[in-house]
Amino acid sequence: MTDQKKVVEILLNMAKVLEENKEFLTDLDNVIGDGDHGINMARGFAEVEKQAEGLEQKDIGNILKTVGMTLVSKVGGSSGPLYGTAFMKAGMTIGAKNEIDMADFLGALEVGIEGVKARGKSTTGEKTMLDAMVPALDAMKEQQAAGADAKQVLEAGVQAAEAGVEATKPMVATKGRASYLGERSVGHQDPGATSFTLMLKEIAKAY
């Protein structure tokens, strides 16, 4: 089981890894996007970090909703609304719980993914964050159904997300700024799929 303190700790670790990878993510986005993904994600999570003390006083649903609202208001480009929507939908699904288990997490991620699909009017195969998110969720659900423990479930998710990032390289982007490049987007990995994978790794490291 994971309580509020653990959730906030994971969010702070996400903030750290996004700050550390800010330039890497921005370099990826320079090639196929607006060139601001890393800067925007680091800025958004730096704002989350500032609220850390207050977050621990909230239930987990409200923690995630607060993160989502912060990302929507502080992160520019498409990543703010998309990640913000995912966190807000996840928070609404979890509700007033002070502890969550793997089934709660996977249910929240599934709803978050549906939110991203609806908000971005996108699906897999379009060189977006969904190309890491959806395979990760599928792999984790499969492991959970097979009776794996939390660590094994999350490790399977990370492996699937990493494979998903690799799979974005040969894709032609059809969504967002990257779609303007058409065939020239081929050969480059998607920044959103990459940032999601970095965040999922921080969740996995906590177990």
Helices (H), the chain: 4-20, 22-32, 37-50, 52-55, 60-74, 79-94, 102-120, 130-145, 150-168, 191-205
% of the chain exceeding 70 in pLDDT = 91
The CA angle 2-192-115, to the nearest 5 degrees, is: 65
pLDDT exceeds cutoff 80 at 32: no
Angle at which helices 130-145 and 191-205 cross, to 10°:
30
Least confidently predicted of 34-38, 180-184, 203-207: 180-184
Cβ atoms of 178 and 193 within 8 Å: the answer is no
Q: Mean pLDDT in the chain?
A: 92
Catalogue the long-range contacts made by 26-32 (C-beta closer than 8 Å, 24 or more residues apart): 28/188, 28/189, 28/190, 28/191, 28/194, 29/191, 31/188, 32/127, 32/173, 32/177, 32/178, 32/181, 32/185, 32/188, 32/190, 32/191
Mean pLDDT of 90-119: 97
Q: Which fold has domain 2-205?
A: 1.25.40
**pLDDT for the residue 180:** 45
Backbone angles phi, psi at 10, to 5 degrees: -65, -40
Chain centroid, CA 49 distance in Å = 16
Residue 176: which pLDDT band, with cuts at 50, 70 and 90? low
% of the chain exceeding 90 in pLDDT = 79
**pLDDT for the residue 74:** 87
pLDDT tens digit sequence for 128-169: 999 999 999 999 999 999 999 999 999 999 999 999 999 999
The single-letter DSSP state of residue 125 is T
pLDDT exceeds cutoff 80 at 174: no
Calpha distance 96→114 (Å, rounded): 21
Residue 175: which pLDDT band, with cuts at 50, 70 and 90? low
Least confidently predicted of 28-32, 48-52, 117-121, 177-181: 177-181
**Residue-range domain boundaries for the chain:** 2-205
Mean pLDDT of 189-207: 96
